[in-house]
């Protein structure tokens, strides 16, 4: 059997890292990791740097790569004002343009995976219908998912290849500098709180129910659906398989850092944590951590944390994973175990203090 060729687009991000991990060490696959910036983690994949917003550079770079059987599209452009950007016309056009540039330069011969999320159910526009199911009508309102999905459907039909749309929510992993990584946002917040002699206080608003998705589990889902011809041209929700109420997991998160749980203390981490960069720098020096600045680790995830914690009003955001299970993808992980594992990995890598 000839070797399969996989192109992971957006390889440096949360999803990209999870996908690369799912194929790591498999000699039957030749994997290329595509990203704008150099990778900051070890991988067997061949790295290629390209800025997908630059059409000429995209054509010149991808023209030398040859043909691929599979493509995973996990690239994402976000505005500096993260949440407002989700409704921004320019952001929508940029994300569509990036995907169009890629597909104009290179299409898979067999399968493409496209990533979405709870914006597919209008969670960025207001209260969504719970649980979100893949057959629900598209909510009206700005969203870059639909132009991208329509483009993929059109190209797949013309090109004779298959596609799958996967919809996780609150993807958590080890990616540094991600605009939406709760693991690092929580980890750095906990470490700084501990250094200041504070307990781990929950900084969000009123309780609500949501879900998370381990980037490693998502990577395995990408691989599983990409190999199944019986799952062609469909969307699937992918989560850890349990529900998440932040206050319920807060004690186990505190335990990972040897901390006590404090009282609720609604706080904008976007405003608070940027002022505490010197505290983090001192933690790095004292504990001999990898020399990353606060912004390098967390990026715009402080804004994401404020939204995900419901600081200004949260809503229940539940995704039904029944369709994925009925089609045979049944993997799951306890969300508390996910956080424990990821915090431990970051501590062992000397990115977070023990």
pTM for this structure?
A: 0.96
pLDDT band at 2 (very low <50, low <70, confident <90, very high): low
Which tokens go with 288?
Answer: 């001999």
More confident residue, 3 or 11: 11
pLDDT above 80 for 331: yes
Contact 48, 9 (CB under 8 A): no
Q: Where are the domains of the chain?
A: 4-170+213-237, 175-211+243-318+333-348
User: What percent of the chain lies above the pLDDT cut of 90?
Assistant: 92
Which tokens go with 65?
Answer: 């790569």
pLDDT above 80 for 314: yes
User: What percent of the chain lies above the pLDDT cut of 70?
Assistant: 99
pLDDT band at 86 (very low <50, low <70, confident <90, very high): confident
Mean pLDDT of the region 284-311 = 95
Contact 338, 240 (CB under 8 A): yes
Beta-carbon contacts of residue 60 (< 8 Å; ≥ 6 apart): none
| Residue 197, pLDDT score | 97
Please calculate the CA angle 108-112-114 and round it to the nearest 5 degrees.
145
Cα–Cα distance between 350 and 354 in angstroms, integer?
8
**CATH class of the domain whose range is 4-170+213-237:** alpha beta
Cα–Cα distance between 117 and 86 in angstroms, integer?
12
The DSSP string of 108-173 is EEEEEEEE--GGGGTTTTSPPPSSB-TTSPPPSS--SHHHHHHHHHHHHHHHT-EEEEEE--SEE-
Contact 182, 203 (CB under 8 A): no
Cα–Cα distance between 219 and 353 in angstroms, integer?
27
Which residues on neighbouring strands pair with residue 46, listed in sequence order? 32
Contact 85, 143 (CB under 8 A): no
| Residue 1, pLDDT score | 53
Q: Give the tens place of pLDDT for each residue, 302-313.
A: 999 999 999 988
pLDDT above 90 for 85: no
Phi/psi of residue 292, nearest 5 degrees:
-100, 135
pLDDT band at 87 (very low <50, low <70, confident <90, very high): confident
| Residue 82, pLDDT score | 80
First to last CA, the chain: 47
Cα–Cα distance between 84 and 96 in angstroms, integer?
18
pLDDT band at 228 (very low <50, low <70, confident <90, very high): confident
- Conformational region of residue 109, where left means phi above 0, alpha means psi within -120 to 50, and beta covers everything else: alpha
255 closest CA partner among 134, 175, 124, 344: 344
pLDDT band at 237 (very low <50, low <70, confident <90, very high): very high
- Conformational region of residue 230, where left means phi above 0, alpha means psi within -120 to 50, and beta covers everything else: alpha
Among 105-114, 222-231, 264-273, 283-292, which stretch is predicted with the lowest mean pLDDT? 222-231
Name the one residue in this structure whose structure tokens are 């606060």: 294
Half-sphere exposure of 304 (CA within 13 A, CB side): 22
| Residue 104, pLDDT score | 97
| Residue 79, pLDDT score | 84
Cα–Cα distance between 214 and 49 in angstroms, integer?
26
Which tokens go with 340?
Answer: 């424990």
Q: Give the tens place of pLDDT for each residue, 152-209.
A: 999 999 999 999 999 999 999 999 999 999 999 999 999 999 999 999 999 999 999 9
Cα–Cα distance between 332 and 217 in angstroms, integer?
7
Contact 256, 191 (CB under 8 A): no
pLDDT above 70 for 125: yes
């Amino acid at each position: 059997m000839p070797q399969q060729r996989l192109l992971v687009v957006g390889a440096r991000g949360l999803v990209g890292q999870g996908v690369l991990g799912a194929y790591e060490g498999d000699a039957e696959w030749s994997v290329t990791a595509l990203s704008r910036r150099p990778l900051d983690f070890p991988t067997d994949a061949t790295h290629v740097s390209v800025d997908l917003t630059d059409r000429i550079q995209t054509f010149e770079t991808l023209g030398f790569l040859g043909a691929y059987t599979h493509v995973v599209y996990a690239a994402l452009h976000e505005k500096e004002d993260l949440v407002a950007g989700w409704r921004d016309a320019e952001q929508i056009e940029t994300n569509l343009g990036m995907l169009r540039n890629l597909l104009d330069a290179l299409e898979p011969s067999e399968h493409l995976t496209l990533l979405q999320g709870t914006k597919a159910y209008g969670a960025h526009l207001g209260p969504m219908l719970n649980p979100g199911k893949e057959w629900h009508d598209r909510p009206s309102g700005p969203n870059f998912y639909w132009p991208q999905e329509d483009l993929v459907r059109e190209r797949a039909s013309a090109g004779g290849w298959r596609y799958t749309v996967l919809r996780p929510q609150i993807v958590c992993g080890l990616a540094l500098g991600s605009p939406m990584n709760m693991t690092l946002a929580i980890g750095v917040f906990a470490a700084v709180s501990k250094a200041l002699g504070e307990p781990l206080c929950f900084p969000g608003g009123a309780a609500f129910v949501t879900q998370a998705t381990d980037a490693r589990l998502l990577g395995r889902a990408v691989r599983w659906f990409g190999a199944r011809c019986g799952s062609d041209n469909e969307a699937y929700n992918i989560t850890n398989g349990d529900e998440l109420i932040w206050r319920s997991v807060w004690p186990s998160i505190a335990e990972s850092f040897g901390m006590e749980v404090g009282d609720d203390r609604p706080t904008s981490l976007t405003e608070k944590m940027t002022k505490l960069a010197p505290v983090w720098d001192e933690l790095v020096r004292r504990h001999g951590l990898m020399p990353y600045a606060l912004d390098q680790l967390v990026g715009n995830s402080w804004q994401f944390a404020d939204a995900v914690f419901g600081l200004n009003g949260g809503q229940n955001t539940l995704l039904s994973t029944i369709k994925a299970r009925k089609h045979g993808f049944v993997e799951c992980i306890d969300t508390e175990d996910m956080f424990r594992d990821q915090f431990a990995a970051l501590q062992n890598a000397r990115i977070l203090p023990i």
